[in-house]
């Protein structure tokens, strides 16, 4: 064989290398060793969800003011709580908001979320969430990585490791947080998993990804350059047979070339209609930021991005942390997110994407049914609410319950590990089989815990 291959030969060769690798990867649990680690992989069993959008609400939204109505609180407002918090007895605080039944299912939602409430028949509310850490850093890490202290791969990174991504021209795991987030990269990082599985963090929505354009040369010239590069690499490779990595890296440059064309388009909202902009609240200053995040999420999952994590950061890095000013704080937060979230759900539903897209809403913990100060609530890890929609989850249902005050999860408690197990299950992954060997041990997202919450599966 001539050592100076034509471009076509090179691409065919690189492509074949990949095909073979991808095929072997399909058979295995484990991530590929070489080649393209992001190639789409078949799940353990047929998946209900192909993609995930996690709407993370840092700070800890209050369950008794959002999705877990507690008439008893209104009744006993101002009375000493029968339970202590941090050794202190505090007074019960009624929710300032009314709850109402919505949809055909009649699931109750507080008036904080009038628009999300219209989608309630697609939503499964879990009212019995439990977590292990009452502090923000540990709580956020646990919710996002399954571990509260040590460096561990994030949920999104595990999903990437398990499934790869469907669109090679975009990152497969994108985290969008316009403001800073607590614990930073640890929330979306890959830790000991290969770096290619870590979330691509987008902070500046105007310039979401770096290095997508070459300001110096035309695309034609760059094409010629990459052809030349391929020929140079082929010469190098010809003497070094059977090193998949050399093929893979040639292919990576081809992928990069295509990403340059496709990724900016994915992040460009200019082409969206005025109606869509309104649907996501882009026309209102208060909803514009999170609306943009949600609309981006839809555009990204539409293009095969596997995991999109949105951090709500309008109003601080943990906006839901209302130790005081619950009324204005939660109202502002709900206002900033309600229309965008409802818009996202409706849009996904209309386009049919919701069937295969799992949407998750929630924070790192909930808030106490008792008052902190005169108008705040403290952190509360023992029973709080999150919800899921689409992607194989039963809509219009409530799972689990807290006690009559909204303290403890008393029926069907769902630990964060259980939630993680369920998310992986919906994606067709067995959380006990999705393991990665590191330092002589097999690690998994759920450590040694986790049960799939089968009751909420559609």
Partner 1 sequence: MSLRRLFCRHRAARRSSCPLADLRWATRFRAVLAGIGLAISCCIARAEDSERFFETKIRPILVETCLPCHSDLKKSGGLRLDSLDALLQGGASGPAIIAGRPDESLLIRAIQRQQDVSAMPPEQARALRPEQVADFVNWIKAGAEWPAVAARLEAANHWAFAPLIDVAAPDVHDGAWLTSDIDHYIRSGQEVRHLNPAPAADRRALLRRVTFDLTGLPPTLAEMQEYLHNETPDAIAQVVDRLLASPAHGERWGRHWLDVVRYADARDLIQLPAESDFREVWRYRDWVVQAFNRDLPYDDFVTRQLAGDLLQPSDPTRIDAESLVATGMLAIADFVPGDVDKKQMIADYVNDEIDLVGRAFLGLTLACARCHDHKFDPISTEDYYAMAGIFFSTRVIPSPSAGNTPLVRAPLLAAAEIQAINQQAQRDKERIAELTQIVQSAADREFRLYLERRLNSSLSHDLPVAVAYLQAMREPIPPTLDDFAAKHQLDAATLERWVQFFHQQPSPAALSTLLTEADRAAGAQRVAEVLKQLTLVAAERRERIARDSVAELLATSELLRFRSDDRLIAIDAAGKVTRWPDRASLAADAAPPADTRGPMLAMADIRGHSRPVLRFDGEAVLQAPRAVPPAGTLFIVFRTDPNAPSGTRIVGWEDSAAGQHGIGLMPDSAGGLHAILRRAGANGDIVAPAPAESGFQLITLTWGAEGAALFRDGVQIGVNKSIDAVTSDPAIAALRIGGPGSGSAQRFRGDLCELRIYGSPLNEAARVRVETEICARWFERTEDRSLAASDAHPEASSVSAEIGFHDLYDELLSPRSPYWIGVEDRTSILAQDVRDRLVAQRDELESLKKKPAAVIPQAVVVQDGGPVGSPFEGFHDAQVFLRGNPSTPGKTVPRGFPQVLAGPDPAPITEGSGRRELARWLTRPNHPLTARVMVNRIWQHHFGEGLVRTSTNFGLRGEPPSHPELLDRLARRFIDSGWSIKSMHRRIVLTRVYQQGSFGSDASRATDPDNRWLARMPRRRLEAEAIRDSLLGVSGLLDTMPGGPGFLEVGVPRRTLYLMSVRTGSKTADFPSLFDGPAGGIVERRNQSIVAPQALYLLNDPLLDDVSASLAARVTREVPSSDNDERINYLYRLALGREPTATEIAIGRQLIVDPDVQHPWTRYCRLILCTNEFIYVD
Nearer to partner 1, 178 or 291 (CB): 178
Q: Do 366 and 131 meet the contact criterion of CB atoms below 8 Å apart?
A: no
Nearer to partner 1, 29 or 356 (CB): 29
Nearer to partner 1, 100 or 151 (CB): 151
Nearer to partner 1, 132 or 356 (CB): 132
Instruction: Please report how close the Cβ of residue 213 comes to partner 1 at its closest, in angstroms.
Output: 6
Instruction: Please report how close the Cβ of residue 101 comes to partner 1 at its closest, in angstroms.
Output: 25
Nearer to partner 1, 101 or 433 (CB): 433
Instruction: Please report how close the Cβ of residue 114 comes to partner 1 at its closest, in angstroms.
Output: 29
Instruction: Please report how close the Cβ of residue 447 comes to partner 1 at its closest, in angstroms.
Output: 5
Instruction: Please report how close the Cβ of residue 331 comes to partner 1 at its closest, in angstroms.
Output: 19
Instruction: Please report how close the Cβ of residue 100 comes to partner 1 at its closest, in angstroms.
Output: 28
Instruction: Please report how close the Cβ of residue 196 comes to partner 1 at its closest, in angstroms.
Output: 4
Nearer to partner 1, 268 or 411 (CB): 411
Residue 302 tokens read as 């539409």
Nearer to partner 1, 190 or 339 (CB): 190
Residue 273 tokens read as 């209609």
């Amino acid at each position: 064989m001539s050592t100076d291959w034509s471009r076509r030969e090179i691409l065919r060769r690189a492509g074949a290398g990949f095909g073979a690798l991808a095929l072997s990867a399909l058979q295995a649990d484990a991530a590929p060793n070489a080649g393209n680690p992001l190639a789409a992989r078949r799940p353990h069993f047929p998946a209900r969800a192909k993609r995930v959008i996690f709407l993370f609400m840092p700070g800890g939204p209050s369950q008794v003011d959002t999705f877990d109505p507690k008439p008893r609180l209104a009744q006993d407002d101002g009375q000493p709580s029968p339970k202590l918090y941090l050794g202190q007895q505090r007074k019960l605080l009624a929710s300032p908001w009314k709850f109402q039944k919505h949809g055909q299912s009649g699931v109750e939602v507080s008036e904080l979320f009038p628009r999300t409430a219209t989608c309630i028949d697609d939503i499964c509310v879990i009212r019995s969430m439990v977590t292990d850490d009452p502090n923000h850093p540990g709580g956020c890490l646990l919710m996002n990585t399954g571990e509260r202290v040590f460096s561990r791969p994030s949920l999104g990174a595990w999903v990437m490791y398990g499934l790869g991504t469907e669109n090679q021209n975009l990152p497969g795991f994108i985290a969008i947080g316009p403001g800073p987030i607590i614990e930073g990269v640890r929330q979306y990082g890959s830790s000991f998993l290969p770096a290619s599985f870590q979330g691509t963090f987008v902070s500046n929505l105007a310039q979401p990804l770096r290095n997508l354009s070459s300001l110096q040369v035309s695309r034609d010239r760059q094409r010629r350059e990459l052809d030349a590069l391929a020929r140079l690499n082929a010469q190098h490779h010809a003497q070094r047979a059977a090193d998949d990595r050399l093929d893979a890296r040639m292919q990576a440059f081809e992928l990069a070339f295509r990403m340059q064309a496709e990724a900016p388009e994915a992040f460009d909202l200019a082409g969206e209609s005025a109606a869509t902009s309104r649907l996501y609240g882009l026309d209102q200053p208060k909803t514009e930021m999170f609306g943009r995040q949600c609309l981006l999420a839809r555009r990204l999952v539409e293009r095969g991005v596997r995991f999109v994590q949105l951090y709500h950061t309008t109003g601080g890095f943990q906006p839901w942390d209302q130790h005081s000013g619950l009324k204005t704080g939660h109202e502002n937060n709900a206002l900033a997110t309600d229309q965008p979230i409802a818009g996202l759900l409706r849009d996904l539903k209309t386009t049919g994407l919701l069937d295969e897209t799992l949407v998750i809403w929630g924070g790192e913990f909930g808030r106490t049914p008792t008052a902190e100060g005169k108008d705040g609530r403290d952190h509360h890890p023992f029973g709080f609410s999150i919800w899921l929609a689409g992607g194989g989850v039963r809509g219009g249902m409530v799972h689990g319950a807290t006690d009559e005050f909204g303290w403890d999860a008393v029926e069907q408690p769902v630990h964060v590990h259980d939630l993680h197990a369920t998310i992986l299950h919906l994606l067709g992954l067995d959380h006990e089989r999705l393991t990665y060997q590191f330092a002589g041990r097999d690690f998994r997202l759920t450590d040694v815990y986790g049960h799939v919450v089968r009751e909420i599966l559609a």
